Amino acid sequence: MKIPMQSIQQGAAAGVIVVVLKLVAYLLGIEAMTSGWVSFGQLVLVIAGMVLACAMERKAHPNSFPFGHAFLTSLSAAAVATLLGLFMDLILGSVIDPDLSSKMMAYTMEELESSGIFSVLSKEQVEAMLADAEWAMRPAGQALSWSLGLLFWAVISLIVGAIMKRKDLTEF
Protein backbone atom coordinates (compact mmCIF):
# COMPACT_ATOMS: atom_id res chain seq x y z
CA MET A 1 0.00 0.00 0.00
CA LYS A 2 1.45 3.36 -0.94
CA ILE A 3 1.39 6.40 1.29
CA PRO A 4 -1.63 8.59 0.51
CA MET A 5 -0.79 12.06 -0.80
CA GLN A 6 -3.39 13.63 1.50
CA SER A 7 -1.44 12.49 4.53
CA ILE A 8 1.74 14.13 3.29
CA GLN A 9 -0.06 17.37 2.43
CA GLN A 10 -2.03 17.62 5.65
CA GLY A 11 0.95 16.51 7.72
CA ALA A 12 3.08 19.18 6.07
CA ALA A 13 0.41 21.82 6.70
CA ALA A 14 0.18 20.85 10.37
CA GLY A 15 3.99 20.70 10.54
CA VAL A 16 4.35 24.22 9.16
CA ILE A 17 1.95 25.52 11.80
CA VAL A 18 3.92 23.63 14.48
CA VAL A 19 7.10 25.28 13.17
CA VAL A 20 5.48 28.71 13.44
CA LEU A 21 4.35 27.87 16.98
CA LYS A 22 7.91 26.83 17.88
CA LEU A 23 9.31 30.06 16.41
CA VAL A 24 6.84 32.19 18.35
CA ALA A 25 7.66 30.29 21.55
CA TYR A 26 11.40 30.76 20.86
CA LEU A 27 10.89 34.50 20.41
CA LEU A 28 8.94 34.66 23.68
CA GLY A 29 11.73 32.91 25.59
CA ILE A 30 12.77 29.68 27.26
CA GLU A 31 9.78 29.75 29.61
CA ALA A 32 7.41 29.72 26.63
CA MET A 33 9.38 26.99 24.86
CA THR A 34 9.06 24.67 27.85
CA SER A 35 5.46 25.64 28.54
CA GLY A 36 2.84 22.94 28.72
CA TRP A 37 0.57 25.09 26.57
CA VAL A 38 3.01 25.01 23.67
CA SER A 39 3.28 21.23 23.95
CA PHE A 40 -0.49 20.91 24.12
CA GLY A 41 -0.84 23.17 21.09
CA GLN A 42 1.56 20.99 19.12
CA LEU A 43 -0.37 17.88 20.12
CA VAL A 44 -3.67 19.40 19.00
CA LEU A 45 -2.21 20.59 15.70
CA VAL A 46 -0.76 17.18 14.82
CA ILE A 47 -4.00 15.40 15.71
CA ALA A 48 -5.95 17.91 13.62
CA GLY A 49 -3.64 17.19 10.69
CA MET A 50 -4.21 13.46 11.16
CA VAL A 51 -7.99 13.81 11.21
CA LEU A 52 -8.03 16.16 8.21
CA ALA A 53 -5.83 13.80 6.21
CA CYS A 54 -8.17 10.90 6.98
CA ALA A 55 -11.25 12.98 6.17
CA MET A 56 -9.84 14.03 2.80
CA GLU A 57 -8.66 10.53 1.95
CA ARG A 58 -12.01 9.11 3.01
CA LYS A 59 -13.77 11.61 0.75
CA ALA A 60 -11.51 10.55 -2.14
CA HIS A 61 -12.61 6.91 -1.62
CA PRO A 62 -16.40 7.15 -1.21
CA ASN A 63 -17.14 3.40 -1.30
CA SER A 64 -14.76 2.21 1.38
CA PHE A 65 -12.02 3.45 3.64
CA PRO A 66 -10.71 0.42 5.54
CA PHE A 67 -9.05 0.63 8.92
CA GLY A 68 -5.57 -0.15 7.55
CA HIS A 69 -5.78 2.67 5.04
CA ALA A 70 -7.06 5.06 7.73
CA PHE A 71 -4.27 4.03 10.09
CA LEU A 72 -1.57 4.50 7.43
CA THR A 73 -2.98 7.88 6.42
CA SER A 74 -3.13 9.06 10.00
CA LEU A 75 0.34 7.83 10.97
CA SER A 76 1.91 9.27 7.82
CA ALA A 77 0.41 12.69 8.55
CA ALA A 78 1.72 12.56 12.13
CA ALA A 79 5.19 11.48 10.98
CA VAL A 80 5.45 14.32 8.47
CA ALA A 81 4.19 16.95 10.93
CA THR A 82 6.48 15.86 13.75
CA LEU A 83 9.44 15.48 11.40
CA LEU A 84 9.05 19.12 10.38
CA GLY A 85 8.96 20.04 14.07
CA LEU A 86 12.15 18.01 14.62
CA PHE A 87 13.88 19.83 11.77
CA MET A 88 12.86 23.15 13.32
CA ASP A 89 14.29 22.07 16.67
CA LEU A 90 17.54 21.03 15.00
CA ILE A 91 17.80 24.32 13.10
CA LEU A 92 17.01 26.32 16.24
CA GLY A 93 19.58 24.46 18.31
CA SER A 94 22.41 24.32 15.80
CA VAL A 95 22.06 27.26 13.39
CA ILE A 96 19.92 30.00 14.91
CA ASP A 97 20.95 29.69 18.56
CA PRO A 98 23.78 27.21 19.23
CA ASP A 99 23.59 28.05 22.96
CA LEU A 100 19.91 27.09 23.16
CA SER A 101 20.54 23.70 24.78
CA SER A 102 22.71 25.25 27.49
CA LYS A 103 20.05 27.91 28.12
CA MET A 104 17.38 25.23 28.37
CA MET A 105 19.57 23.18 30.72
CA ALA A 106 20.10 26.22 32.95
CA TYR A 107 16.36 26.89 33.01
CA THR A 108 15.64 23.24 33.75
CA MET A 109 18.19 23.26 36.59
CA GLU A 110 16.52 26.32 38.13
CA GLU A 111 13.12 24.67 37.90
CA LEU A 112 14.38 21.43 39.42
CA GLU A 113 16.16 23.26 42.25
CA SER A 114 13.04 25.25 43.06
CA SER A 115 10.97 22.06 43.10
CA GLY A 116 13.26 20.51 45.71
CA ILE A 117 13.94 17.34 43.72
CA PHE A 118 17.69 17.61 44.33
CA SER A 119 17.20 17.13 48.06
CA VAL A 120 15.59 13.74 47.42
CA LEU A 121 18.09 12.40 44.87
CA SER A 122 21.70 11.45 45.45
CA LYS A 123 24.51 13.37 43.75
CA GLU A 124 25.17 10.45 41.36
CA GLN A 125 21.51 10.29 40.36
CA VAL A 126 21.45 14.03 39.68
CA GLU A 127 24.62 13.83 37.57
CA ALA A 128 23.23 10.89 35.60
CA MET A 129 19.95 12.72 35.08
CA LEU A 130 21.74 15.84 33.83
CA ALA A 131 23.95 13.83 31.48
CA ASP A 132 20.88 12.12 30.03
CA ALA A 133 19.11 15.47 29.61
CA GLU A 134 22.13 16.99 27.85
CA TRP A 135 22.31 14.02 25.48
CA ALA A 136 18.57 14.25 24.78
CA MET A 137 18.97 17.87 23.68
CA ARG A 138 21.59 16.95 21.07
CA PRO A 139 20.58 16.05 17.49
CA ALA A 140 21.05 12.31 18.04
CA GLY A 141 18.92 12.41 21.17
CA GLN A 142 16.23 14.42 19.42
CA ALA A 143 16.20 11.99 16.48
CA LEU A 144 15.86 9.02 18.84
CA SER A 145 13.11 10.82 20.72
CA TRP A 146 11.26 11.46 17.44
CA SER A 147 11.60 7.80 16.47
CA LEU A 148 10.26 6.61 19.81
CA GLY A 149 7.59 9.29 19.65
CA LEU A 150 6.26 7.59 16.53
CA LEU A 151 5.12 4.76 18.82
CA PHE A 152 2.93 7.26 20.66
CA TRP A 153 1.61 8.57 17.36
CA ALA A 154 0.92 5.01 16.22
CA VAL A 155 -1.39 4.55 19.20
CA ILE A 156 -3.15 7.84 18.40
CA SER A 157 -3.34 6.71 14.75
CA LEU A 158 -5.06 3.50 15.85
CA ILE A 159 -7.72 5.60 17.54
CA VAL A 160 -8.09 8.03 14.62
CA GLY A 161 -8.16 5.15 12.14
CA ALA A 162 -10.87 3.36 14.14
CA ILE A 163 -12.98 6.52 14.19
CA MET A 164 -12.45 7.47 10.53
CA LYS A 165 -12.76 4.04 8.87
CA ARG A 166 -15.68 3.25 6.62
CA LYS A 167 -16.97 -0.17 5.75
CA ASP A 168 -17.31 -1.16 2.13
CA LEU A 169 -20.81 0.01 1.21
CA THR A 170 -21.09 -2.55 -1.61
CA GLU A 171 -20.81 -5.52 0.78
CA PHE A 172 -23.85 -7.01 2.42
Per-10-residue mean pLDDT for the chain, 172 residues long? 82 93 90 87 93 90 84 93 92 85 82 76 80 82 90 94 79 57
Predicted pLDDT at 125: 82
pLDDT of residue 81: 94
pLDDT reported for residue 77: 94
User: Is 9 within 8 Å of 54 (Cβ atoms)?
Assistant: no
Q: What is the pTM of this model?
A: 0.83
* Residue 136 confidence (pLDDT): 80
- At 171 the pLDDT is 60
With beta carbons less than 8 A apart as the criterion, state whether 30 and 102 touch: no
